[in-house]
Structure 1
Amino acid sequence: MGLIERIFTTVFGGERNVIRDTVEVFRENAEAGAQRAHAVQGQAMAQYGAEFAHPRHGGFDRFMDGLNRLPRPMLALGTLGLFVTAMINPLWFAERMQGIALVPEPLWWLLGVIVSFYFGARQQVKSQEFQRAIVGTITRVPQVVENIETLRKLRADTPRVADTGADSRLALAAVEPSDNPALDAWRRSRA
């Protein structure tokens, strides 16, 4: 018993588990990974909470917070407003658009840069999510094509779709009349 006990103590004893330690080289310990993820999430939430821990008492801080929330709604509502204005008062709208036509090209470039920097990061994230979705869709294309081909083979107008092959019992069962109460009721109603 001493030899077996020493072997088990070597492999599993001494607060060590050689098998577990070896496996963890190739695969993450799920419990330890969950604990690390929980710690990271807790730290992120603590950092986020610390950012807002001190109330902003000044009018300037509140004004800037409100101002930071305005660009997206203003752009969206302003664009919709332009469409409504063009329908309600086309002459007034055309006069304003003539004024926009006089804006120099460098100023349009500057506006483009500002809008790109403001919305660029969000656009990049959305673009990457879209690309991942496209890749996921493309990986399913062969399976979808195969499913469509299988479904087309099952259509009633496909030649030999109901062919029983060499199965004689199935061929006899297909031509043997069966009890069908709905068909019997229909026949009685027609008689």
Structure 2
Amino acid sequence: MGLISGLMGVLFGGGRNVLRETAEVFRENTEAGAGRAAALRAQVQDQYAAEFAVPRRGGFDRFMDGLNRLPRPALALGTLGLFVAAMVDPIWFAERMQGIALVPEPLWWLLGVIVSFYFGARHQAKIQDLERDLAGAMRRAPQVMENIRQLRQLRADSPGIADPRPDGDLARQSLAVDANPALEDWRRLRRA
């Protein structure tokens, strides 16, 4: 008994566990690892909390923060809204796009400056292409006005939009029997 208790005292005595310590050289202690991971997560959360902590601010500051968050979602949702509008009412959409074609060049430049300043990117080549396109759009202004006039005539509530007369005449003409000498010869041969 003395030998076994002495051996156990050497292995596990003095608050030590030689077997556990030896095993931990090859494999992490799961309980200690979980404790370290929990401590790390707590430190990360404390750091984030300190980073995003905002001192007491007034209503104007909160309003400006909210306003600064609007442009990107507004542009994305507005673009999706344009696609929906084009599908729901194409004539209404086409009228608006014809109107956009008449926007003067300085206004497009101003819009380009505001958007590029806000998003922090300057695409000069695209802006120069836009300038050429806008100059061409201004030359097409009379055609745009004519297009709008024609689009408004296509509305469902426009008078005469459902007039089937030309199509009715065409249908009657297509049903009229034309003389076909080859068909008549074939019919005569079949009867004989």
- Scaled to the shorter chain, the TM-score interval is 0.3 to 0.5
TM-score for both structures, normalised by structure 2? 0.43
> With CA pairs under 8 Å and 6+ residues apart, which has the higher RCO, 1 or 2?
2
- Structure with the greater alpha carbon radius of gyration: 2
TM-score for both structures, normalised by structure 1? 0.43
